[in-house]
Each structure stands twice: as structure tokens, then as C-alpha cells.
Chains A and B, each alone.
Chain A
Amino acid sequence: MSAVPSRGHAARASALRDPTNWVLVLAALSLVLLIVVPLLSIFREAFTDEDGRLTLANFVSTFSDRQARQATLNTIVLSLAVAALSTLIAIPLAFGEARTAMPFKRTLNAVALVSIISPGFLVALAYALLLGPNMGLVNKALRALLSLEQSTGPFDIYGPWGFVFLTLPMGIGLCFLQITPALRSIDASVEEASRLAGAGPLQTARRVTLKLIRPAILSGFILTFTLTLAAYGTPQVLGVNVLAIAIRGALLVTYDLKQAAVLSVAATVIAVAAVFVYHQSMRAQSRYVTLGGRGARQGLVDCGRWRHALVALTALYALFGFVLPYGALVVASFLRAMSRGFSLDNLTGANYAVLLSDEVTRHAFLNSTILSLTSAVGVVLLGLVVGYLLERTRVRGRVILDYIAVLPLGLAGTAFGVAVLVTYLNPPFQFLGLPGTLAILWIAYVAHFVSFGVRGVQAGLVQIAPDLGEAARMAGARRWRVVKDIEAPLLGGTLVSIGLLVIVLCFPELSMSIMLRSVDTQVAATALLNRWDGEGGFPGAAAMAVVMFAVIGVLLAVAQSFVAGRQRWKRRSGS
């Protein structure tokens, strides 16, 4: 007798036949493997004693130290300050770029990217030349101009507020790149309706536009917060006591793995708390869907005199995020001796010539190019699948994946690098033989930056009404077709933004790379550090930073023209 399958049984069988479900499961497993496994080694270290017994004693001993408590407090306060200020400044800039006819949009986009790619420690050194309290060029000029009798200041770049000031351009760039695509996706008719109802441009911006882009704003805030939390180069140069510095000290100077693990757990908890707040805020977001079944229409807003304010803000951002630090770097890169100042007989091209002839430097740049491009692909694909899983399915426990994705962002790169290395040096993954290869760097990069993919895709999907996909599904389309033909094309701009962001974050990555690179897998940032510490000194490192900036610029241009070419080809094929 053959049994008639029940409806539930049939649904389960259908779900098993749907390859999309397998892709989702695979992506979830990948996320666990990439992130949870390395992190478990840190958590195990923090919560066990030397004999492997569970204990909280490591936390008690770590936080009985005033320095550790101060580092934790500094990290929270400074990360909040950077994230809040970055968001406030990025919103009008993104609005200007996406929704107005303001000039200098290309400049604004370029500065946002440059601010993100700039190696923190080098920018800090450049600013030390400008805003150092004793001999900073800006300070000296101001003292002379204002006839100040004091021998130091008026500005002092060293200290917590110097850290905020130097990290701000990166934060603005991150928020800008998150918010701009969201603003571009808004259907202009929604805003027009507001204006027809009698609201002015500012009122419309405040009451309609800001509410619609709230997920992207929150996303930018959280990313900036967590990246500032893990910043290493800038606090190292400025001498600011934050968790990333304390973790490195415990790990590498006092060899106290327990203390390093406890501090890493503290950083992770702070990052997770930030995501929790994000989730709470996003609960009500579904009512702000902006891309519905009807076609979206975009339009530019006439912002009148505010246009000048936007240009002024762009100019200030360009000045502090690019002109001043890179101006100092370019000048320094052509100097034979820094202390002899700017004179013709002190100029040289030797700092650049050395780079061209050095095989290790060339190899390092090639490695970084390969890693940043392939990591971008990995983050976009994984972000798309996991973001979809979170936003478009009702799989139980899916929110846990969101928390998992953000975990590595809060960790100091050094600590995460060590965790990855420990994982793949020991059983059961030892047999893969990954340490010392580019593959282990790729794993760390993708794991560390996958949150950008997940968060970006989530923010994008929130704006696309599910009814588009649901209609297609009711018409018999499989989930894969819905993603491929409807949601991925609508997310196109967002996916490109994510990819570009990952390229610019991966290329200059230092703190993880320094633990994972090997003799033949040097990357651009570790080669830059070597040049600075070695014979090149600051002028040699400045030359390399300028070249690094140029290479990233070329990479971005190639990536953007590839995407543009593909879109043109698609349009032609379509027509």
C-alpha cells in the first residue's frame, strides 16, 4: 500500500529540492566556519584557567588593572564620538551627492574613498607634521599670525580628541558610502507627495527622507563604531590607550594570552551590543519600504542657498581628509632629509625609484591586489546570501547569523589574526596547510569584512518591498530566479558599493596581515611598515603611501569601468 504524502511532507521535500535552500545552508555554515571557529579559541582562552577549568578569574584580574578599565572606557567613548560625528556630517554630504545638483560630486566620492583607504598610522604621522604642538606647521603659522606668546599649540594632535579628529574622515567616508545608495533608491514621488501636502524641502528631508534612509544611517553608524573600536594605527602613533593597543600589548609584549583574550571578548561584547541596538531600531523599519511593485522614479531636489553650504562642507572634508595629509605625504616623499626642509637641493625622486626596483614591494602590491579583489567577490556573494537569509526568510535562529557576522569587526585585527592562525595551525584544520599562504589572508579578510556585505545587503533589501518577489514566487518562480532576476538587479548599486568598499578596506589592511603574512606573502601594508621602519624612514614610507593610493585609485577605476561596461552591454542586449 502506498502512503499519500501529507502536505507538510511534500513541502519539506520541495524545500529539499530547491537548490537555493542548500546555498543558504552552505552560506550559514561558511559564516560559522569563518568566524565562530576562530572566535571560539579566544572565548575558550578567556573563560578557562591554565588547567582548562571554567573561570571568571581572568576577567577579575584583567579589570582590576586601571589601565585596562581606562582602555575599555576610552574605546567606548571615542568610538561613539567618531560614529556620531561621522553620521551627522555624512548625512548632508550623501544627500548633496545623491539628491541635489551640487557641484564637485566626483571630488566628494573620491575623498570618501581616500579617507577609508588611508593607512591610519601614516596619516597620523602626516598630521603630526602639521598639528604637532611644538613644531607642527599649522601651529607655528597660527602662533606667528596671531602673535601668540605660548611656545606650544594652540592645537595638540596627541591625545583622545586628536584620535577623534583623525578618525573622522574615515567614518564620514564609511557612512557616506552606506547612505548614498539608499538615498538614490528613494522614489521621488514619495517626497513630492510630502511637498504637495505643503511641507518645505527641509521639512520633507527631516520627516520623509531621513526616515526612509534610517537603516542605512544606522548601518553606517554601526560600521563606523565597530571599525573605530578596532582601529590600531592611529591610536598607536598618538599614544591613546584603547582596547586594540592593550590587546596587542598583552599578546605581544607580556605574552599574556589570557588578558588579551579577555580584552578581545570585551571588544566583541561592545560590538555585539551595538548590533543589538541596531536590531531594536530596525524592528519598526518595515513600514519604510521605498521600492515597491510600481516603478521607482528619482529626481533631484533644488536646495537653493543650502547648495553653497554643501560645497563648503565638501571643501572642508576634502581639505582635512585629503589635501592636508596627502599634501604633507607628497611633499615628504620628495625630500632627501626631512629636517632640511623644502629646498631644491633637498628634493629627490630616489624614494620612488627604490620602490620600482624592489622585488618584494612589487610582489606585495600584487598580493594585495589579488586579495582585495577576490575578498570583495567573497564578501559580496556571502553578504548577498546571508543578507537575503536574514531579510527574506523566516528561518529560525537567523538573527544569530547577523550577530555572528559582526563579531570580528569589534576585535582588534591582531587578535583576530592570531585566532585565525591558531585555528588553521591546529587540528582539525591543520591538514589544509593554509598558514603561510594567501588563502589564510583571504579567509581572515572575508571573515573580518563580511559584515559590510551582510549589513549593506540588509539595508538594501529593507528598501525593496517583498511583494515583488512574492508575486514572482506565486507565479511559480523559484527563489533563485527571484534573487537573480529581481532582487540582485535592484540591489546592483548597493552590491557595487559593497565591493568597492571591501577593495579599499582590504588593500591597506595591516593589523591582521602582520600576523598572517609569511616570507612570500607580504602585502602592501606590511611592506609599507617595513619601509617606514627600515632605511626609507618617513620619506620612503610617504612615497610608498602615495603609490599605494595611486594603485587603489587605478583598481577602483578599473572595477567601476568594468561594472559600467557590463551595464551598457546589458542595456544593449536588452534592447
Chain B
Amino acid sequence: MAQQPTEVNIYSGIPREQAEQVTAAFAKTYPQPVKFNILYGPTEELIAQINLEQQSGQPKADVLWLDKPQLQALAKRHKGIFAEVNSKNFDNVLASVKTDDYKRVVPTGLLLYVIMYNRNVVSDADAPKSFADLLNAKWTNKIIMANPQSSAGVHNFFWLITQHLAGKPPFGWEYFTKLNALKPQYVSGHGPIRDQVISGERPVGIQLQFYVNDPIKRGEKVWWTWPAEGVATGQVSAAVMDKSKKKDVGTALVDWMISPAGQEAIAKHVSLAPVNSAVDIKFPDGKKTSDLKLVPVDTTYITEHRADIIKGFQKAIDAR
């Protein structure tokens, strides 16, 4: 009689179809049959659900695959929630992402902040090359970005502009006051940005790179530029629930995710840049990760200052 597969529940901020391709690649390498049930949703909603499950003592998730700051916040709120992953693959993981408790909140891929544009409306030559370029009056009514009040992911970009580039004009909080004068559209997340740029309604968007690759594969006339100031680099991390009965499979999955094979699968199916230095990928523009000016985001700052970022943004756009 065929062995029943072990069922593992993954709460994922990565869209299900993409995450399924990654877990399917892992399942081929795992000695026992395993089935992954993936619950995909906006990170904010999944985190709320996990918090409530934790409070009740009835967690259903075995593995979490979400933005790092939210996982850090979760670990801070519920001590000992995540199991430690011991992997020889950590030796090749970029030092810049091995921060805090990286063995429990394990970095699996890099989220890169870029400028997306519609090629029907904006020529490659005319496309903004930097975040500073976006302040040009010609982009009035043309820009779209996520609102930090409803999107957790955009806090990475806010860190870049208000902390990393602070004191270097035109950056700091006044950047958002100037940008607001150009009447950008603020939306709930990065999905609407993708669609508005594709339709040309807002031809320029401050966007995560992995939202650009799928439309390009489908043949959409969109492209992106790597901002001259540097590419804000957030992280998607994985964590294994310490009380999970499937901890062994979960730990094996996360170990595999940071291995060269796992990193290639994540880059191929999810379009996240690798965190393992032994792996380098080529983006559709021919550039490799090693060619980019990456600026690792201080995820701990975001975890601790989320409310301040929202207040700062409101103050900046209210200022005349």
C-alpha cells in the first residue's frame, strides 16, 4: 500500500501558484511523500491570523514564508515561536542578510525596489533613472505607489528614502512632500501598482521587481530601471513553527530553500534575488544580482518604527 503523504501547511505571502512550484521542486528531493497546503494572502492578513491562532494555542501553520519585518515582529511578540534551523548552507548566505536571529527567521530571497514603467507611454530613454528623477514636474499625475497605511511591504522603500538617504537632498521626509505635489496615486499594495502601470493609467510605479517579471513573461509592454541611489533590498524569510508536528519536514524545506538548488528554484519561479552567494541569476535586462548596487534594508528598524513611518508619511503629505 502506498505511503500516505505528510501534509504540511505553509502560510505564504508569495502567490500560491509560484510557491507551489518551489515546494514541488523540494518534494522531488525529499525521501518521503509530502504534500504542501499553501495558504496565500496579503502578509498583513496572514500575520493577524497567526497572532490569533497563537493566542488560542491552536496554530495550524507549520511553516511561514513572509516578509522578514513581520516575522521578526511575530517572533518578538511570541517568544520561542520559531524553531532553529541548523544548515551548512548558512555558510554561503550573504553576510548582509544574516542579521538578528537569522537561524529562526531564515532569509530566503531578496525583494528589490525598482521603478516600473509602461513602454507604450514612456520611452526607455525618457524613463526615470533614479528616485530623485521622479520629482520632475513632467511626472505630475503619472506616478503610483503603495500607501504605508495599508501596505507593509512599502515600508522598505520608506526606510531607504527617510533613513538611508536622510540628509542627502532631496531625500528625507521632505521627499514625500515634494512627491505629493505631483499628485501621485497611493494604493493599497503592489498588485494595483502592477495593473495601473500595465494599463498606462499611471505609467510610472515605485514597485517590487518580482511584480515586473511575470507581466514581462506574459508579453506586457512594461519594463523597469534600477534606481541610481541604490536598490532597497528587503527580504522574504521562512520560519518553522516550533510546536509544529511536521517540524522535520519544515526544517528540511527551509534548509533546501537556502541551498543552491532551492535558491535557483526560488529565483526561477518567484523571481526573488538569491541570498546564497554561490548562486547568481540573470534578470531579463541581462544584469546579474552581483552587478546591482544593493542597499540591505534595516528590517529591525521597520519592525520597531512601523507606526512612526505612517505618521511621518501623513505629516509629509499634509505639509504644504
Contact = CB atoms under 8 A, between A and B. Distances in A.
B314 interface: yes
Contact of B199 (A133, A135, A256): A135
A117 B113 CA distance: 36
Interface stretch (A171-179, A201-209, A214-222, A531-539): A531-539
A130 to B, nearest CB: 10
Given A128-B199, A537-B195, A538-B195, A425 B52 contact: yes
Interface residues of A, number: 55
A520 B37 contact: yes
A443 to B, nearest CB: 16
Nearest to B222: A339
A519 B39 contact: yes
B214 A252 contact: no
Contacts of B60: 435-436, 518-519
Given A236-B188, A254-B307, A125 B48 contact: no
B299 to A, nearest CB: 16
B219 A336 contact: yes
Interface in A249-269: 249, 251-256
A128 B202 CA distance: 11
Contact of B150 (A152, A253, A526, A532): A253
B142 A134 contact: yes
Interface in A470-512: none
- Best-buried of B49, B73, B222 by chain A (most CB within 10 Å): B49
A465 interface: no
Nearest to A248: B150
Interface stretch (B9-17, B78-86, B158-166): B9-17
Contacts of B152: 253
Given A135-B199, A533-B15, A526 B41 contact: yes
Given A253-B306, A515-B48, A135 B215 contact: no
B15 A535 contact: yes
Main secondary structure of the interface of A (DSSP, over half): helix
Nearest to B15: A534
B47 to A, nearest CB: 7
A434 to B, nearest CB: 10
B136 interface: no
Interface string A403-442: 0000000000000001001100110001000011000000
Interface in B291-320: 306-307, 310, 314, 318
Given A515-B48, A537-B195, A132 B201 contact: yes
A20 to B, nearest CB: 38
Contacts of A135: 121, 199-201
Interface residues of B, number: 64
Interface in B192-220: 192, 194-196, 198-203, 214-215, 218-220
A559 interface: no
Interface in A36-89: 66-67
Interface string B94-129: 000000000000000000000000111100000000
Nearest to A137: B199
B191 interface: yes
B58 interface: yes
Nearest to B39: A519
Nearest to A335: B218
B225 interface: no
A239 B221 contact: no
B149 interface: yes
A248 B152 CA distance: 12
Interface string A1-45: 000000000000000000000000000000000000000000000
A396 interface: no
A343 to B, nearest CB: 12
A114 interface: no
Interface string B34-62: 00011111101101110111011010100
B301 to A, nearest CB: 16
A35 to B, nearest CB: 19
Contacts of A136: 201
A138 B53 CA distance: 47
A532 B152 CA distance: 19
A91 B219 CA distance: 48
B199 A132 contact: yes
A313 B199 CA distance: 31
23 contacts: A67-B149, A125-B192, A133-B141, A236-B188, A248-B150, A252-B45, A253-B151, A253-B310, A254-B307, A255-B306, A337-B215, A337-B219, A338-B220, A340-B219, A426-B56, A430-B58, A518-B39, A526-B41, A530-B15, A532-B191, A533-B40, A534-B40, A535-B18
Question: Which 3 pairs, one residue from A and one from B, show the smallest C-beta to C-beta distance?
Answer: A534-B15, A425-B56, A252-B44
